[in-house]
Chains A and B, each alone.
Chain A
Amino acid sequence: MTTEDAAPAGTAVIELRDVTFRFDTRLILDRVSMKVEAGTTKCVLGASGAGKSTILKLLLGLLEPESGEVWVLGKEVTSLKGRELQELRHTMGMVFQGGALFDSLSVWENIGYCPLETHHEKAEAVRTKVREILKMVGLGEVLDMMPSELSGGMKKRVAIARSFVCGPKVMLYDEPTTGLDPIVSDTINELINRLKRENGVTGIVVTHIMRDAYNVADTLTLLKEGQIIFDGTPEEIRASKDPYIQEFIA
């Protein structure tokens, strides 16, 4: 995918409108509204249990909100079912917190899952493509290794590679750098920026690490107890006088 394929700058590619979500009786998101413009990266910040990851799952249609609308690439996710929803998911990439690599498949089968299963490309062609992508994410000859043989940082990079191999327009990252050392974190942050810069990918990064948020974010949203208490640029959050925000970004 090239930048020409991406939506025009300034267009909201992702939008949540008054979204409320409950898990059993516990209120996770309370009338949350937010937008992410084309070709930008938004960081969703918040303490554990604030509902950050829930937003990503709502965008993918893995969860359904109690009320409100979830829009991705001009489509209302909650109204989509079956094949329509699957087609929308093909335009999105998701990096799960623990990587969520398929442990019964090798690295190349994990990364090549989408081209093999969805686009039915030839195995040899996919292997070649995977080899190139592995170089791009800074991994050497790990093609035939199993996920259990990889370190945490390698798993995350393989997970990123798997999620963008089919050229998604939207990338969702769930705590991509949690548990990683600063050097590996920087590699992953650079990868996120590179995908935005070179492919015009619109992204949401869920994190609670401010250093990483400043590295990748064009805009930031801070959640507290299911509500948005800040939405703005990194400069604006730094300038905020709100005691909770100050404590959070300290």
Chain B
Amino acid sequence: MADLTYPVKSFVLAAQEFWLLMWHSAIGLPAAVTYRKETFRQIYSIGVTATPLIILAALLTGLVLALEWGNKLEPFGAKILMGRIMAVGTIREIGPVITGLMFAGRTGAMIAAELGSMKVTEQISALTALGTDPIRRLVVPRQVASVATILPLTVLADAVAIFGGYVVAVAWLHTPGKFYWKSALESLAWEDLAIGLLKPFFFGWMISTIGCFYGMTTEGGATAVGGSTTKAVMYASLGTLAADFVLSKLILSFFR
């Protein structure tokens, strides 16, 4: 019986710890200002250095999507809709999700590995022993940096993916460039921008919190750090996709 209840107990304990982490980090939010040096260091590490990856991922996705959609639209003479499809699809879905997934893979792993290593080498205990709250010192700056950087990265990803679509539309599908941009700009509504710009805030907060949770709860040695990192990436990626669906549904119901 004990073996059967163990996974349930572990899950309940982990859920409790996760909620406590969220609560303590929420009430410790002003620590992002107290530890502003750390917050800015994280903004650079999490956001600025992720820029090339996000650009490349968004460009490749934009190119592929434009190629696929263009080939499907061409037989119907609907290539002129390329700009519209690329703009709406990218801003509402592709941009936030691609950025979210890249963020989950890169930032989620980075945070979990960094905090996990600190945990197993007792650096987090040392912080506590020196009278510092590790959640305020380590978690809050990472959460704030993630939320602050994911929005500009998403906007950048949107722009690059739409530009990728433009390249394909003009170079391979021979659509006039001005039609592409006209169609793209005219199709966008406030609703699209609201959906596309609200999601990243939640993704950034969720991914960083999952990374921090797995990092801070690492027990053991190097293998455990690897395990925590894997779990952080896995749950942050799945969480991004699940949250994308839930948020889309919520925002759509708000606009209708």
Contacting residue for B130 out of A57, A103, A114, CB 8 A: A114
Enumerate B106-140 residues with CB–CB distance to A below 8 Å: 117-118, 121-123, 125-133
A100 B123 Cβ-Cβ under 8 A: yes
Known contacts A89-B131, A90-B131, A118-B131; is A97 also within 8 Å of B122 by CB? yes
Chain B residues with CB under 8 A of A60: 125, 128-129
Q: Which residue of B lies closest to A103 (CB)?
A: B123
- B116 CB, nearest partner CB in chain A, Å: 13
Q: Which residue of B lies closest to A92 (CB)?
A: B129
Once the chains are docked, how many angstroms separate the CA of A57 from the CA of B123? 14
Once the chains are docked, how many angstroms separate the CA of A162 from the CA of B123? 13
The residue among B117, B118, B125, B131 with the most chain A CB atoms within 10 A of its own CB is B131
Once the chains are docked, how many angstroms separate the CA of A190 from the CA of B155? 60
Once the chains are docked, how many angstroms separate the CA of A147 from the CA of B130? 18
B130 A100 Cβ-Cβ under 8 A: no
A117 at the interface (CB under 8 A from B): yes
Q: Which residue of B lies closest to A87 (CB)?
A: B131
A214 at the interface (CB under 8 A from B): no
A117 B129 Cβ-Cβ under 8 A: no
Chain B residues with CB under 8 A of A96: 122, 125-126, 129
In this complex, how many residues of chain B approach chain A with their Cβ under 8 Å: the count is 14
B131 A94 Cβ-Cβ under 8 A: no
- A58 CB, nearest partner CB in chain B, Å: 13
Chain A residues with CB under 8 A of B125: 57, 60, 62, 96, 100
Chain B residues with CB under 8 A of A71: none
Chain B residues with CB under 8 A of A173: none
Contacting residue for A89 out of B118, B122, B129, CB 8 A: B129
Using an 8 Å CB-CB cutoff, how does the interface string of A115-131 with B read, 1 for contact, 0 for none? 00110000000000000
Enumerate A85-110 residues with CB–CB distance to B below 8 Å: 86-87, 89-90, 92-94, 96-98, 100-103
B121 A89 Cβ-Cβ under 8 A: no
Chain A residues with CB under 8 A of B129: 60, 62, 89, 92-94, 96, 163
Chain A residues with CB under 8 A of B123: 100-103
Q: Which residue of A lies closest to B123 (CB)?
A: A100
A21 at the interface (CB under 8 A from B): no
- B202 CB, nearest partner CB in chain A, Å: 28
Once the chains are docked, how many angstroms separate the CA of A100 from the CA of B132? 14
Once the chains are docked, how many angstroms separate the CA of A89 from the CA of B133? 11
Once the chains are docked, how many angstroms separate the CA of A90 from the CA of B126? 12
Once the chains are docked, how many angstroms separate the CA of A117 from the CA of B117? 22
- A11 CB, nearest partner CB in chain B, Å: 23
- A184 CB, nearest partner CB in chain B, Å: 20
Chain A residues with CB under 8 A of B128: 60, 62, 89
Once the chains are docked, how many angstroms separate the CA of A129 from the CA of B9? 49
- A64 CB, nearest partner CB in chain B, Å: 13
Chain A residues with CB under 8 A of B131: 86-87, 89-90, 114, 118
Using an 8 Å CB-CB cutoff, how does the interface string of B199-222 with A read, 1 for contact, 0 for none? 000000000000000000000000
Using an 8 Å CB-CB cutoff, how does the interface string of A162-195 with B read, 1 for contact, 0 for none? 1100000000000000000000000000000000
Q: Which residue of B lies closest to A114 (CB)?
A: B130
Q: Which residue of A lies closest to B128 (CB)?
A: A62
Given contacts A60-B128, A98-B122, 8 further A-B contacts (CB under 8 A): A57-B125, A89-B129, A90-B131, A93-B129, A94-B129, A96-B122, A97-B122, A102-B123
20 contacts across the A-B interface (CB closer than 8 A): A57-B125, A62-B128, A62-B129, A86-B133, A87-B131, A89-B129, A89-B130, A93-B129, A96-B122, A98-B121, A100-B125, A100-B126, A102-B123, A102-B127, A103-B117, A103-B123, A117-B132, A118-B132, A162-B130, A163-B129
Q: Nearest 9 CB-CB pairs, A to B?
A: A100-B126, A100-B122, A94-B129, A86-B131, A89-B131, A96-B122, A90-B131, A100-B123, A60-B129
